[in-house]
Structure formats: structure tokens, C-alpha cells
Amino acid sequence: MICPGCGANIPDSASFCSYCGKKIERLVVESTVNNNIKEVKNENVFLGLIGGLIGSLAGVASIVLLSRIGFVASIAGLVMAICTIKLYEKFAGSISKKGIIICIVITLLMTLLAENISFAWQVVRELDAKGYKGDFFDIFFNLYKYMGEGYFNNSTYFTNLGLVYLFNIIGAFSLFKTQLGITKK
């Protein structure tokens, strides 16, 4: 072991450096390392997944509400990412790289869900404006079927979806990057 005071090579079992007399604080470092290892072992991925899904609902709500007023904003992606990560970590007990990857997948899937809700809602509004009665649940659950049959403008859907993903990536990228950089487990 190397003495932190003078840099001399001393035996691993030494409590004090025989050259400079500095006390070796080995037990504190080992305790910190063991606590970090314990946190990783205590990560409950299933509960974290539940927490991440619950947290992502705030992002879904922000995407849907912003789309209702005609905006696509990166703040919605940031809201989703923060809530997903924080609730994952709270429910799981800690977060590892696996947890961050789960949060990224949740964010991507819930963004798709939010865009599908927004698009179905928009279709219902347009149908109602033309005098037809639109059924939200029918449109939502059969969205891709109706798109395949040519009832909707697919380019509008995919353009909006691309914009939502782009803005969510802009909003959430730095948070996920920071979390992956901090989490070395």
C-alpha cells in the first residue's frame, strides 16, 4: 500500500506510516466501498420498473397537454426522464446502468404511447368538427390498422412522432448521459 502522506510503500496491515507517521484511514475507505456495493445488490429492478412507469406518466401527461395546445417541447422529455429516473431509483432503492437503460426504454415506449394518445385525440377533434362522432378508444386501439387502410395521413403522424422523439432526446439526453457517467456499477 502507498502512504497518502509521503508516498512511501508500506505494508498493507500498517495503521501508521513508518516513514512519516501518518495514520492510515483504510477502514473508512473500505466501509464506503462496501456501502456502494451493498446499494447495487439492493437494487430491486421489478419495483424500479413499477416506479419508472409511474414516473413516466408525468411525461406522458406533459406531452399530451402540450400537444393539445399545439406545442412539442423538449421540456416534456426532460419531465419524463427526471420523473422516470427518480421514481425508479426511489422504488428500486438504488440505480445502476441496468436501471438507467430500463429508464431509457420506458421513456421511449411511453413517448410512443403519449404520441398515440395525442394523435387519436386530434383525429376525434377533427371528426367532431366535421360533424362525425369520433370514438377515442376505437381510434386509439386501432390507430395502426386505420393508418394501414389509409384513413389517416401517415406522414403527419410520423412527422409528429419524429418531432416528439427529437425534442424528448434533446430534453432527456443530458440527464441520461449524466446518470450513466455517475453510475459506474
Opening angle at CA 172, ends 170 and 175, nearest 5: 125
Q: At what angle do helices 74-92 and 154-182 cross, to 10 degrees?
A: 50
60 exposure class (CB count in 10 Å sphere: 0-12, 13-18, 19+) = buried
Beta bridge partners of 16: 23
What kind and span of H or E run contains 130? none
The domains of the chain are located at: 42-182
What's the pTM value of the predicted model, to 2 decimals?
Answer: 0.69
Backbone angles phi, psi at 168, to 5 degrees: -65, -40
| Between 107 and 179, residue with greater pLDDT | 107
pLDDT band at 184 (very low <50, low <70, confident <90, very high): low
Task: Identify the pLDDT of residue 38.
Answer: 44
Q: What is the pLDDT of residues 44-103, one digit of tens each?
A: 999 999 999 999 999 899 888 988 887 776 678 788 888 998 899 999 988 888 998 899
Q: What is the pLDDT of residues 125-155, one digit of tens each?
A: 888 888 888 899 999 999 999 999 988 878 8
Number of H helices, E strands in the chain: 7, 0
The three cell numbers locating residue 136: 377515442
